[in-house]
Amino acid sequence: MATTTYALIPGAGGDSAWYWQLVVPELRRRGHEALAVELPVDDDAAGLEEYADAVAAVVGDHEHLVLVAQSMGGFTAPLACERLGDRVQLLVLVNAMIPAPGETAGEWWANTGQPEARRTLDLAEGRPPDADFDPLVTFFHDLPGPLVEAALAREPRQSDTPFGVPFPLSAWPDVPTRVVAGRDDRLFPPEFQRRVARERLGVEADVLPGGHLVALSNPAGLAELLVGYRTP
Protein backbone atom coordinates (compact mmCIF):
# COMPACT_ATOMS: atom_id res chain seq x y z
CA MET A 1 0.00 0.00 0.00
CA ALA A 2 1.26 3.51 -0.82
CA THR A 3 2.12 5.85 2.01
CA THR A 4 -0.93 7.72 3.24
CA THR A 5 -0.84 11.45 3.90
CA TYR A 6 -3.02 12.50 6.80
CA ALA A 7 -4.13 16.14 6.65
CA LEU A 8 -5.06 17.10 10.21
CA ILE A 9 -7.64 19.89 10.49
CA PRO A 10 -8.25 21.65 13.83
CA GLY A 11 -11.46 22.89 15.36
CA ALA A 12 -12.45 26.42 16.32
CA GLY A 13 -9.61 28.45 17.78
CA GLY A 14 -7.28 25.57 17.13
CA ASP A 15 -3.54 26.05 16.94
CA SER A 16 -3.25 23.09 14.63
CA ALA A 17 0.47 22.44 14.66
CA TRP A 18 0.32 22.38 18.45
CA TYR A 19 -3.00 20.53 18.83
CA TRP A 20 -1.88 17.65 16.59
CA GLN A 21 1.68 17.61 17.94
CA LEU A 22 1.35 14.18 19.57
CA VAL A 23 -0.53 12.51 16.70
CA VAL A 24 1.88 13.61 13.95
CA PRO A 25 4.85 11.56 15.28
CA GLU A 26 2.56 8.61 16.00
CA LEU A 27 1.43 8.53 12.36
CA ARG A 28 4.96 8.99 11.04
CA ARG A 29 6.20 6.22 13.31
CA ARG A 30 3.67 3.98 11.58
CA GLY A 31 5.14 4.83 8.18
CA HIS A 32 2.83 7.60 6.98
CA GLU A 33 3.00 11.34 6.40
CA ALA A 34 1.08 13.77 8.59
CA LEU A 35 0.43 17.45 7.87
CA ALA A 36 -1.05 19.74 10.52
CA VAL A 37 -3.17 22.43 8.84
CA GLU A 38 -3.15 25.96 10.23
CA LEU A 39 -6.45 27.78 9.65
CA PRO A 40 -6.82 31.60 9.56
CA VAL A 41 -8.93 31.49 12.74
CA ASP A 42 -8.16 35.06 13.82
CA ASP A 43 -8.96 36.61 10.42
CA ASP A 44 -12.43 38.19 10.37
CA ALA A 45 -12.37 38.14 6.56
CA ALA A 46 -11.96 34.35 6.46
CA GLY A 47 -14.95 32.02 6.29
CA LEU A 48 -15.40 28.36 5.43
CA GLU A 49 -14.17 28.76 1.86
CA GLU A 50 -10.92 30.33 3.05
CA TYR A 51 -10.53 27.57 5.63
CA ALA A 52 -10.87 24.96 2.88
CA ASP A 53 -8.35 26.88 0.76
CA ALA A 54 -5.90 26.66 3.67
CA VAL A 55 -6.28 22.89 3.77
CA ALA A 56 -5.67 22.59 0.03
CA ALA A 57 -2.59 24.83 0.26
CA VAL A 58 -1.00 22.71 2.99
CA VAL A 59 -1.76 19.45 1.18
CA GLY A 60 -0.19 20.71 -2.04
CA ASP A 61 0.41 17.87 -4.47
CA HIS A 62 0.31 15.02 -1.94
CA GLU A 63 -1.63 11.94 -3.01
CA HIS A 64 -3.44 9.16 -1.09
CA LEU A 65 -5.05 11.62 1.30
CA VAL A 66 -6.99 11.10 4.50
CA LEU A 67 -8.57 14.26 5.89
CA VAL A 68 -9.00 14.19 9.67
CA ALA A 69 -11.26 16.91 11.09
CA GLN A 70 -11.59 17.84 14.75
CA SER A 71 -14.72 19.54 16.16
CA MET A 72 -15.66 22.53 13.95
CA GLY A 73 -13.27 21.13 11.34
CA GLY A 74 -16.29 19.08 10.30
CA PHE A 75 -17.53 22.18 8.46
CA THR A 76 -14.18 22.65 6.69
CA ALA A 77 -13.19 19.13 5.65
CA PRO A 78 -16.08 18.44 3.21
CA LEU A 79 -15.28 21.65 1.32
CA ALA A 80 -11.62 20.62 1.18
CA CYS A 81 -12.73 17.30 -0.32
CA GLU A 82 -14.35 19.23 -3.16
CA ARG A 83 -11.08 21.03 -3.86
CA LEU A 84 -8.82 17.99 -3.64
CA GLY A 85 -10.99 15.65 -5.70
CA ASP A 86 -10.27 11.95 -5.95
CA ARG A 87 -6.97 12.30 -4.13
CA VAL A 88 -9.04 12.15 -0.92
CA GLN A 89 -9.57 8.49 -0.12
CA LEU A 90 -11.11 8.86 3.33
CA LEU A 91 -12.63 11.55 5.55
CA VAL A 92 -12.49 11.02 9.33
CA LEU A 93 -14.52 13.19 11.70
CA VAL A 94 -13.15 13.25 15.26
CA ASN A 95 -15.53 14.67 17.87
CA ALA A 96 -16.69 16.77 14.97
CA MET A 97 -19.67 18.86 13.98
CA ILE A 98 -21.52 17.27 11.05
CA PRO A 99 -23.25 20.04 9.06
CA ALA A 100 -26.47 19.85 7.09
CA PRO A 101 -26.85 21.74 3.78
CA GLY A 102 -27.43 25.46 4.39
CA GLU A 103 -26.81 25.18 8.13
CA THR A 104 -24.42 27.55 9.87
CA ALA A 105 -22.07 26.47 12.62
CA GLY A 106 -23.95 28.85 14.87
CA GLU A 107 -27.24 27.06 14.17
CA TRP A 108 -25.79 23.57 14.46
CA TRP A 109 -25.92 23.45 18.27
CA ALA A 110 -29.67 23.90 18.65
CA ASN A 111 -30.47 21.97 15.46
CA THR A 112 -28.69 18.84 16.71
CA GLY A 113 -29.80 19.08 20.34
CA GLN A 114 -26.27 19.48 21.69
CA PRO A 115 -27.22 21.67 24.68
CA GLU A 116 -29.74 19.11 25.92
CA ALA A 117 -27.30 16.23 25.40
CA ARG A 118 -24.56 18.02 27.30
CA ARG A 119 -26.92 18.94 30.12
CA THR A 120 -28.11 15.35 30.42
CA LEU A 121 -24.51 14.12 30.67
CA ASP A 122 -23.60 16.76 33.27
CA LEU A 123 -26.53 15.70 35.44
CA ALA A 124 -25.67 12.02 35.06
CA GLU A 125 -22.04 12.61 36.06
CA GLY A 126 -22.83 14.97 38.94
CA ARG A 127 -21.76 18.30 37.46
CA PRO A 128 -23.86 21.46 37.80
CA PRO A 129 -25.76 21.49 34.48
CA ASP A 130 -26.16 25.25 34.21
CA ALA A 131 -22.73 26.38 35.43
CA ASP A 132 -20.72 28.91 33.44
CA PHE A 133 -18.51 27.37 30.77
CA ASP A 134 -15.16 26.31 32.19
CA PRO A 135 -12.59 24.91 29.72
CA LEU A 136 -10.83 23.08 32.55
CA VAL A 137 -14.00 21.08 33.15
CA THR A 138 -15.22 20.67 29.57
CA PHE A 139 -12.05 20.45 27.48
CA PHE A 140 -9.02 19.71 29.65
CA HIS A 141 -10.36 17.33 32.32
CA ASP A 142 -8.43 14.31 30.99
CA LEU A 143 -5.14 16.05 30.11
CA PRO A 144 -2.00 16.18 32.27
CA GLY A 145 -1.20 19.51 33.91
CA PRO A 146 1.67 20.58 31.62
CA LEU A 147 -0.49 20.12 28.52
CA VAL A 148 -3.30 22.12 30.10
CA GLU A 149 -0.93 24.98 30.92
CA ALA A 150 0.48 24.95 27.39
CA ALA A 151 -2.99 24.93 25.85
CA LEU A 152 -4.23 27.84 27.94
CA ALA A 153 -1.12 29.84 27.09
CA ARG A 154 -1.50 29.59 23.33
CA GLU A 155 -5.21 29.53 22.48
CA PRO A 156 -5.58 31.89 19.48
CA ARG A 157 -8.53 34.23 19.01
CA GLN A 158 -11.33 32.65 17.01
CA SER A 159 -13.21 34.93 14.63
CA ASP A 160 -17.00 34.66 14.64
CA THR A 161 -17.13 34.90 10.83
CA PRO A 162 -17.23 31.16 9.96
CA PHE A 163 -19.99 30.52 12.49
CA GLY A 164 -22.38 32.64 10.42
CA VAL A 165 -21.61 31.13 7.01
CA PRO A 166 -24.17 28.60 5.70
CA PHE A 167 -22.64 25.25 4.79
CA PRO A 168 -22.57 25.57 0.99
CA LEU A 169 -22.69 21.95 -0.19
CA SER A 170 -26.04 20.48 -1.18
CA ALA A 171 -24.88 16.97 -0.31
CA TRP A 172 -22.05 15.26 1.54
CA PRO A 173 -18.98 14.60 -0.66
CA ASP A 174 -18.79 11.19 -2.31
CA VAL A 175 -15.93 10.16 -0.05
CA PRO A 176 -15.92 7.25 2.43
CA THR A 177 -16.47 8.81 5.86
CA ARG A 178 -15.76 7.51 9.36
CA VAL A 179 -16.80 9.11 12.63
CA VAL A 180 -14.85 8.92 15.90
CA ALA A 181 -16.47 9.85 19.20
CA GLY A 182 -14.51 10.41 22.39
CA ARG A 183 -15.84 8.16 25.13
CA ASP A 184 -15.18 10.89 27.71
CA ASP A 185 -16.17 13.92 25.62
CA ARG A 186 -18.19 16.32 27.79
CA LEU A 187 -18.92 18.84 25.01
CA PHE A 188 -20.24 16.35 22.45
CA PRO A 189 -21.28 13.31 24.53
CA PRO A 190 -20.61 10.03 22.70
CA GLU A 191 -24.25 8.94 22.46
CA PHE A 192 -25.09 12.34 21.01
CA GLN A 193 -22.31 12.00 18.43
CA ARG A 194 -23.45 8.50 17.51
CA ARG A 195 -27.01 9.70 16.99
CA VAL A 196 -25.99 12.65 14.81
CA ALA A 197 -23.66 10.45 12.73
CA ARG A 198 -26.50 8.00 12.08
CA GLU A 199 -29.07 10.68 11.31
CA ARG A 200 -26.91 12.86 9.07
CA LEU A 201 -24.50 10.41 7.44
CA GLY A 202 -25.91 6.94 8.04
CA VAL A 203 -22.60 6.08 9.71
CA GLU A 204 -21.97 4.24 12.98
CA ALA A 205 -19.39 6.09 15.07
CA ASP A 206 -16.41 4.35 16.63
CA VAL A 207 -15.91 5.24 20.30
CA LEU A 208 -12.36 5.85 21.49
CA PRO A 209 -11.20 6.53 25.07
CA GLY A 210 -10.57 10.25 25.52
CA GLY A 211 -12.33 13.57 25.86
CA HIS A 212 -13.06 16.28 23.32
CA LEU A 213 -9.34 16.86 22.75
CA VAL A 214 -8.62 13.19 22.15
CA ALA A 215 -5.59 13.96 19.97
CA LEU A 216 -3.91 15.20 23.15
CA SER A 217 -5.34 12.73 25.66
CA ASN A 218 -5.02 9.55 23.56
CA PRO A 219 -2.76 10.25 20.56
CA ALA A 220 -1.50 6.69 20.16
CA GLY A 221 -5.02 5.28 20.26
CA LEU A 222 -6.24 7.80 17.71
CA ALA A 223 -3.29 7.20 15.39
CA GLU A 224 -3.80 3.44 15.59
CA LEU A 225 -7.45 3.85 14.70
CA LEU A 226 -6.67 6.17 11.77
CA VAL A 227 -4.07 3.79 10.35
CA GLY A 228 -6.44 0.86 10.91
CA TYR A 229 -9.03 2.52 8.70
CA ARG A 230 -6.54 2.34 5.83
CA THR A 231 -5.40 -1.25 6.43
CA PRO A 232 -6.86 -3.70 3.91
Would you state the pLDDT for residue 1?
Answer: 58
Q: Which H or E run includes 69?
A: strand 65-70
Would you state the pLDDT for residue 28?
Answer: 97
- Across the range 65-75, mean pLDDT stands at 97
The per-residue pLDDT for range 4-19, each reduced to its tens digit, is 999 999 999 866 778 9
Question: How far apart are the two ends of the chain, measured CA to CA in Å?
Answer: 9
- 92-101, 154-163, 199-208: least confident range: 154-163
Percent of the chain residues topping a pLDDT of 70:
98
The per-residue pLDDT for range 150-201, each reduced to its tens digit, is 888 876 789 999 999 999 999 999 999 999 999 999 999 999 999 999 999 9
| Residue of higher predicted confidence among 36 and 154 | 36
Distance CA 109, CA 105 (A): 7
The CATH number of whichever domain residue 82 belongs to comes to 3.40.50.1820
Count CB atoms within 10 A of the CB of residue 18: 18
Q: Which domain holds residue 160?
A: 5-229
Domain count, the chain: 1
The answer for 7, left when phi > 0, alpha when psi is -120 to 50, beta otherwise, is: beta
Distance CA 96, CA 74 (A): 5
Does position 77 have pLDDT exceeding 90, yes or no?
Answer: yes
| Residue of higher predicted confidence among 135 and 102 | 102
User: Helix/strand/coil (H, E, C) string of 139-158?
Assistant: CCCCCCHHHHHHHHHHCCCC
| Residue of higher predicted confidence among 2 and 44 | 44
